[in-house]
Structure formats: structure tokens, C-alpha cells
Structure 1
């Protein structure tokens, strides 16, 4: 597992697939409390014919480091890796918090992003006063309970319990400081008024049953994009692992310039 030292963190990453032909590299960015293996299905599919890069964000998975306070700082880590790997143009694919990172990069370095894919992600978190109070109060419960509640509700009803339990355990292994700080960073993230600047073709893929980042918030974001298409899939918030084949098919269509078929 190669690693890159960036500002006190060791970022673990994978750089797979052929370097010539097949289009620009695909760069996969995972979400909150997750790791690069959320993308196993997509990487196994695409790395057969094109370069694919993925990483564990600072403090997640096999990467070390903490101290990050904002989504922009995570985006800086990703940019440091891409600069290190001499990637001049790519397709950026982000899940949830990874999509927030993707939007940040697309705004800061538009020449780098050929296409953008946002999976179960939004540009601004919006909630009622009551919902905001509940979100704040949830941080006061024991850490493992906080993580378990958030990961449990990320999956659509009926998803196999044993698999959900595995993801809860993996998420709870993420350092508490990282998890709680980035929980606040996601709540503070807001680029909705700027996404109209993103000219790259953009695919928004969202789970119909996503209650973490509801569909109506994604649709408001989609309306602000100048060059976006939407694909809905019968899943919750964890599309890369709930419906991996359907997500891979949607990505394949988008990368081929086709409008993804709806379920």
C-alpha cells in the first residue's frame, strides 16, 4: 500500500489500471467514517481498462493523521495526492462527504475536473430547527452509539443486518476526534450558491431512500448545476455497497456519454 506524507498525515492510496488509453483517470473519494474499500466493486470493474485512483482520507482506514477541520482541508489532501501522481485531468467521483470534497475541488481547480460524479451528496445541508437540535443533541450520546445510529440509518430498510453491523464496527474504529470534527464540517459545508460555476458535466446519483441527505435537497442542488443529470436508484445512503452493480452501470453510461437509464 503506497502512502504519501501530507502535513503530518500518511495518506494510503491505490493507483491501479493501465496508464495509456481508456480516458483520463477516475478518482474515487469515500465518505465520512468510511474508507477506500467502499469503491471495491467500481474499482474492480474500471481498473481493467483505465487508470483508477482511490485513497483513505486523513484519519480514515489505513491513513493516519487528524487535525483537519474543514472539507476544504480534506480537498487539499486529495489535491496533494493528485499533484504527486502528476494527474492533470480526471473524472472525480465522490460519495457523501467525498462529493462535498469533489465539489470543492471542481470549484478550486476547474481545469483538473473533466467530469464530476456526486453519489448521495449535496451542496448544502438544510434542516428544520427541530432536526438541527436533534443532530446537535446526538453528539452528546456515547461515541459508539452515535456512530451506530448514523450508520444504521444510512442503509435502506431491509439491508442485511450482518453487513450493516460490519460497517458500524469499521466506522467506530475511525478516531473519535476525526469523526466528530468532520460531522461538524459537513453541517457547515455550503457551496450551493457557487455550483453554477461548475461547467464540467455532472452526474448526481442518489438513493431513493436516503434519509441522511434527502432527495429533495439533492434535487435543489441539481437545479443549480448548469450541466447536470440525475439518476435515482432504489437504495439508501450507502449506494456503493447497497447497489454496487447499479452504481457501476450508471457510471459506465455517464463515462460513455450516454444518459443513464432510470430504474
Structure 2
């Protein structure tokens, strides 16, 4: 596993596919408590014809490091990896928190993103008063219960329980400091009023049954970014693994479509 040291963290990543492809590299960024293997299906498909890079974010998966406080700091890690790999321009794909990272990079460095794909991600978390109080209270329960409850809710009804238990186990292995700090960072993330600045071709793809980040919140993004392509898939929050083939097909169709004039 190749690794890169950035500001005290060791980032583990995969760099696959042909380097001489005429297509720009695809960069995949996973979400909160997850790891780069969320993208196994997409990596296998796209690496047949283009370079594909995916990483474990700081404190996740096989990457070390803690102390990260903001989405912007995670975005800086991704940019450091792209610089290390000499990738000047890419198709940037982010799931959930990874989509927040992707938005941050695109707003700060639009010249580096040829196309943007946001999977089950939002630009601003909006809750009723009751829902906000419930989320705040959830941080007071034992850590493993907090993680298990959030991961269980991420999957649409009917997803195999044995597989969900494996995702819970992997998520609970993420250091508590990382999980809880980034939970707060996601709740504080807000770039909705800046989405109109994004001129990069954008795909918004979301699970219809997502109760973690409801589809209605994604539709606010579509309103703020009217030229974006919107796809709704019959799944929950974990689209990359709940409906991997459908998500891969949606991304493939988007990245291979001719750019609008």
C-alpha cells in the first residue's frame, strides 16, 4: 500500500489504472467513518481505462493521524496527495463527508476539477428544532452505540444485516476523537450560498431513502446549482455499496457525456 506523510498523518492510498490514458484521473473520496474500500466497485470499473486514485482519509481505514478539526483540513490532505501524484486536474467524486471535501476543493481550486460528482452529500445540514436536539443528545450515548446507530440508519430497509454489522465494526475502529470531531465539522459545514460559484459540470446523485442526509436537502443544492445533473437511486445513504452497479453507471454516463457548450 503506497503511503504519504502529510502534517503528521500517514495517508494510505491506491493509485490504479493506466497512466497514459487520455482521460483525466478519477479521484474518489469516502465519507465519515468509512475507508477507500467503499469504492471497490467503482475502482474496478474505471481503472480499466483511466487512472483512479482513492485514499483513506486522515484517521480512517489504514491512514493514521488525528487532530483534524475541519472539512477544509481534510481537503488540504487530498490536495497534498494530488500534488504528490502530480495530478493537476481530475474528475472528483465524493460520498457524504467526502462530497463536502470535494465541494471545498472545487470552490477553492476550480481549475483542478474537470467534473464534480457528489454522492449522498449536501452543502448545508438543516434540521427542525426537534431533530437538532435529538442529534445533539445522540453524542451523549456510549461511543459504540453512537456509531452503530448512525451506521444502521445509513442503509435502506432490507440491506443484509450481516453486512451492516461489518460496516459498523469497521466504523467503530475509527478513533473516537476523529469520529466525534468530524461529526461536529459536518454539522458546521455550510457552502450552500456559494454553490452558484461552481461552474464545473456537476452530478448530484442521491439515495431516495437516505435519512442521514435527506434527498430534500440535496434538492436545495440542485436549486442553487441549476445546471447540475440530478440522479435519484432507490437506496439509502450508502449508495457506493448498496447499489454499486447503478452508481457506477450514473458516474460513467456523466463523465463520458460531451461537455455542454
Assess, with a 3 A threshold, how the Cα gap between structure 1 residues 14 and 228 changes in structure 2: closer, same or farther.
same
Assess, with a 3 A threshold, how the Cα gap between structure 1 residues 258 and 234 changes in structure 2: closer, same or farther.
farther
Cα RMSD after superposing both structures:
1.0
Equivalences for residues 198-237 of structure 1 within 5 A:
198-237=198-237
- Residues 156-184 of structure 1 show CA distances to partners (whole Å, capped at 9, x for unaligned) of 00100000000000000000000000000
- Residues 127-147 of structure 1 show CA distances to partners (whole Å, capped at 9, x for unaligned) of 011111110100000000000
Runs of 4+, deviation exceeding 6 Å: none
1:158 is aligned to: 158
Residue 61 in 1 paired to residue 61 in 2?
yes
Q: Which whole-Å CA distance do the structure 2 matches of 1:222 and 1:101 have between them?
A: 18
Counterpart of 1:41 in 2: which secondary structure?
A: helix
How far does residue 115 in structure 1 lie from its aligned partner after superposition?
0.2
Q: Which whole-Å CA distance do the structure 2 matches of 1:241 and 1:125 have between them?
A: 23
Q: Which whole-Å CA distance do the structure 1 matches of 2:252 and 2:109 have between them?
A: 24
Counterpart of 1:171 in 2: which secondary structure?
A: helix
Q: Is the 8 A contact 1:34 1:60 kept in 2?
A: yes
How far does residue 226 in structure 1 lie from its aligned partner after superposition?
4.4
Counterpart of 1:213 in 2: which secondary structure?
A: coil
2:42 is aligned to: 42
2:190 is aligned to: 190
Alignment size in residue pairs? 259
- Residues 62-93 of structure 1 show CA distances to partners (whole Å, capped at 9, x for unaligned) of 00000000000000000000011111100000
1:27 is aligned to: 27
How far does residue 225 in structure 1 lie from its aligned partner after superposition?
1.1
1:5 is aligned to: 5
Instruction: Give the gaps of 5 or more residues in structure 1.
Output: none
How far does residue 22 in structure 1 lie from its aligned partner after superposition?
4.0
Counterpart of 2:106 in 1: which secondary structure?
A: helix
Counterpart of 1:64 in 2: which secondary structure?
A: coil
Q: Is the 8 A contact 1:200 1:227 kept in 2?
A: no
Q: Which whole-Å CA distance do the structure 2 matches of 1:77 and 1:187 have between them?
A: 20
TM-score in terms of structure 1 length: 0.97
2:76 is aligned to: 76
Q: Which whole-Å CA distance do the structure 1 matches of 2:196 and 2:24 have between them?
A: 24
